[in-house]
Amino acid sequence: MATRKKTTTSAKRKSNAGKKPKVTRWKLVVALVVLLLLLSPFYYGYVLKTGSAAWRWFKDLGGKTNYRTYKSFHIRIPSNYKIHGIDVSYYQGRIDWQRVKKMQEDSVHISFAFIKATEGVLKVDPYFQRNWRECSKAGISCGAYQYFRPKFSGKWQAGLFLQTVKLQKGSLPPVVDVERLDGMKPEKMRHELDDFIKEITLKTKVTPIIYTGLTFYQENLAGFYDDYPLWISSFDHPVLTISANTNWKFWQHSERARVSGIVSVVDFDLFRGDSLAFQKMLIK
């Protein structure tokens, strides 16, 4: 009996020695999923995206909480604003507006563009008509601006602008860009600017936007045009420090943005308000 028992145990050991441990089906499934994940380009895209976000967070650490870096645009953008845009002229050359429209990082994309149309009493931007047509075709809200020269008649300058720009439904209001005195006294500049505004308002029934630099506004325009919609230029600051009495609607906060479809750097702007307020700005 004892010998028989020993023989049986030995036989069992020999029988089990040749068998491999069984691997359950779920372990095989998990291993396969992990393998596919590691080989997937989506996995590496996720890793890169997460790493990029982490680096951006680290880079902005200790900075202003309402000022964030956007790698795609190569600039920092003030937070808490939802509607962004650019302004262009012949300097940007031939623009691919479809690529401009498609570019996006997180929720930031180009919703509007101000386009230079005219300057003084004779100059028409050579790229205006193309930019005006193609920008609108791409589905971007467009606005046209006159580079104002105080040494010339404001009424004549308005005439050149109206002759060049055909405002349409859905366009932004016309803009007068005033940022220099041209050797004139501030009183003379304001007189010609008033004539320009009156002529534009009379012929279009639309109140124009006044664009200017923050310092120029404070020294020459403050107190005279506070009720007009303002577009203020002030670069590389997390907040726009301007009197609460002003009616500023747009802020040009950078001159070094990179945007798909534009070969050179471009000015970057934002709108002060939500989408409903922006729609109210458009010509009906």
Q: Could you give the residue numbers annotated as active site?
A: 87, 179
Distance of CA 6 to the CA centre of its chain: 84
Residue in the structure block whose two tokens are 């010998």: 3
CB of 152 closer than 8 Å to CB of 120: yes
| Residues near 231 by beta carbon (within 8 Å), at least 6 away in sequence | 114, 175, 209, 210, 211, 212, 248, 249, 250, 251, 252, 269
Rounded distance between C-alpha atoms, residue 26 and residue 176, angstroms:
70
- What one-character DSSP code corresponds to residue 265? -
* Phi/psi of residue 150, nearest 5 degrees: -60, -20
Rounded distance between C-alpha atoms, residue 243 and residue 283, angstroms:
27
- Please choose, from the candidates 221, 165, 223, 234, the residue with its C-alpha nearest in 3D space to the C-alpha of residue 193: 221
Please give the radius of gyration of the chain, using alpha carbons only, rounded to the nearest integer.
Answer: 31
SS3 270: strand
- Which amino acid makes up residue 214? L
Retrieve residue 267's tokens.
Answer: 């000015």
Give the count of beta carbons closer than 10 Å to the beta carbon of residue 174: 26
